[in-house]
Structure 1
Amino acid sequence: MRFSTRKILFSGIAAGAAVVALGGAAAASGHQAADALPVAPGHEGEGEYTAGNYWLQVRELTADGEGFGTAVAPGTTYYSKTLHGSDSWKPTVLKFSVGEAPEAPTVFSYPIPAEGLGVSCVASGTEAAPQVRCETTDAR
């Protein structure tokens, strides 16, 4: 069988694109881990949001879209004490966007975990191709 450099190059590009697409789909799907991650001491039941090399906008919202948001500077971590809301306000979802605009389009969503559990979310990739991964944390 004869292979040309051109065929090998295109085969490699196609295989690479398939790996990137599958990896992106897996990262975008998000999940609540069955075995929750350990939590940073002093931050039990909180949201932990770590930005990649770009601004990460995080919003803790109710089903009606009401809630609070914060901008996390590139390469830093923010801890949220409002993850589970208050007596009068209960968020149900985390929504993430990138850039400095607070109302930028959502690139990833994750459900608020049960009371007493926290969440750890880490952004990676680039601003043009962001990836956000969240996992439920447990103080136990």
Structure 2
Amino acid sequence: MEFTAKRVGVAVVAAGAAAVAIGATVMAAAADPVAPEVVSATPADAGHENEGKYTAGDYVLNVHELDDDGQGTSTAIGPRTTSYSKTVHGTGSWTPTVVKFSAGRDGDGPIVFSYPVPAPGRTVDCVASGTEAAPQVRCETKPAR
């Protein structure tokens, strides 16, 4: 194979693009961004007005309600199960600011989605889908009834 300036240039550009893509992926994972709040007009489920609602997909969903220091509670929810959290707005001396999700039986697995805790008088409704290897979580902020 003959190396020409054009082939070398194309190879360098392709390698540079791959390096940028890998670097962006690593930086995005390290930054652990919080998804923007999505507001719904549908009210919270009756009887659960001030609670977070989390529905797992076909795998164990780990829900981490955390404050700014990363302290908080974690709950594992079984496959195809819905759980309500009375601590989504805190316990009096502790107030969470973000809900983070991981998938699988290892509760300390990588965070796959983060969502801000809504203001008092509003609640969060999150539904997991996809697979354990490629989990997806969608959350909405809903008004209390």
Q: Same fold (TM over 0.5)?
A: yes
CA distance in 2, matches of 1:33, 1:98: 22
Q: Does 1:92 align with 2:100?
A: no
> Deviation string for 1:44-83 (max 9, x for gaps)?
0210000000000000000101000100000000000000
- Give the TM-score of the pair, scaled to structure 2: 0.73
The match for 1:125 among 111, 127, 130 is: 130
Q: Does 1:79 align with 2:84?
A: yes
8 Å contact from structure 1 (residues 45, 137) kept in 2: no
8 Å contact from structure 1 (residues 30, 133) kept in 2: no
CA distance in 2, matches of 1:35, 1:102: 29
Q: Which runs of 5+ in 1 are unaligned?
A: 1-27
What is the root-mean-square deviation in Å for CA atoms of aligned residues?
A: 1.6
Q: Across the two proteins, how many residue pairs are aligned to each other?
A: 113
Residue 78 of structure 2 aligns with an amino acid whose one-letter code is A
CA distance in 2, matches of 1:35, 1:99: 28
- Give the TM-score of the pair, scaled to structure 1: 0.76
| Structure number with bigger Rg | 2
Q: Call closer, same or farther: CA 1:29–1:59 in 2, change over 3 Å.
A: closer
CA distance in 1, matches of 2:88, 2:132: 25
Q: Which runs of 5+ in 2 are unaligned?
A: 1-32
Residue of structure 1 in register with 2:46 after alignment: 41
CA distance in 2, matches of 1:81, 1:34: 20
**What is the identity percentage for the equivalent residue pairs of Structure 1 and Structure 2?**
59
Q: Does 1:134 align with 2:135?
A: no
SS of residue paired to 1:96:
strand
The match for 1:116 among 116, 121, 143 is: 121
The match for 1:61 among 52, 60, 66 is: 66
CA distance in 2, matches of 1:81, 1:66: 17
CA distance in 2, matches of 1:34, 1:107: 21
SS of residue paired to 1:37:
coil
